[in-house]
Amino acid sequence: MLFQVPEVLTPDELTQLTQTLTQAEFIDGKLTAGWHAKLVKHNQQLAKTVPEAASLKQQIKTALNRHPLFQIAVRPKTIHSILFSRYTAGMSYGLHVDNALMAGHRSDVSFTVFLSAPEEYSGGELVIAGPDDEQGYRLTAGSALVYPSTTLHRVDPVTQGERLVAVGWAQSWVRDAAQRELLFDLETARRSLFAKDGKTPEFDLLSKSMANLLRRWCD
């Protein structure tokens, strides 16, 4: 399931984070790429030695963990391997698929949190490849795109300005993407029913089914 998550970061959080990154050291992005991804990865990433790196990653993790849409759609067991990437004119990341395992965790779901406003750069679309088409995304600063880690995707060349993003991965409690989507649909219907009619017998049955499916599918 691919979806947008609006306002992951508050304006104050976004300002603080981008100001810190503006003054931080970035290194060649190839250093964190797999052997085949190195061939197509042309960007920069925040150096691990930057003193604020751990706290910046925690900011992203905290913001995603408090966002209800991300929680009910992804059901994250752990959010891991967060990287801050910078693209200036001429930089890109060619077509690739994310590694299945990172830092001892499975990558079920990928996410990109956009830190630069779309008017601050040209090009640089995050393009997700589907079975018979492609879709490009340039979201507002502070918003995130969430997509299956199984997909082929790329970042088109930036032609002007600077594209700054945070990328990361989540291992879900529910390994199967189709099962996660079913749970998301049921949760959406359950909440809608509660908002309309309160705690009804139908709401209780949906709640029972959701809880029991989660017990069955939880990994």
Locate 138 and state its tokens: 């340039």
Annotated ligand binding at 153? The verdict is yes
Across all residues in the chain, what is the average pLDDT?
A: 96
Gap between the Cα atoms of 20 and 23, Å rounded: 6
Nearest Cα neighbor of 5 from 186, 142, 167, 172 is 142
Gap between the Cα atoms of 87 and 34, Å rounded: 19
Annotated ligand binding at 132? The verdict is no
Gap between the Cα atoms of 23 and 75, Å rounded: 34
Annotated ligand binding at 98? The verdict is yes
Q: Which residue has the tokens 């189709």?
A: 178
- In this predicted model, what pLDDT tens digit does every residue of 48-95 receive, in sequence order? 999 999 999 999 999 999 999 999 999 999 999 999 999 999 999 999
Half-sphere exposure of 58 (CA within 13 A, CB side): 5
* pLDDT for residue 171: 98
The percentage of the chain sitting over the pLDDT mark of 90, rounded to a whole number, equals 94
At the fourth CATH level, the homologous superfamily of domain 3-172 is q2cbj1_9rhob like domain (2.60.120.620)
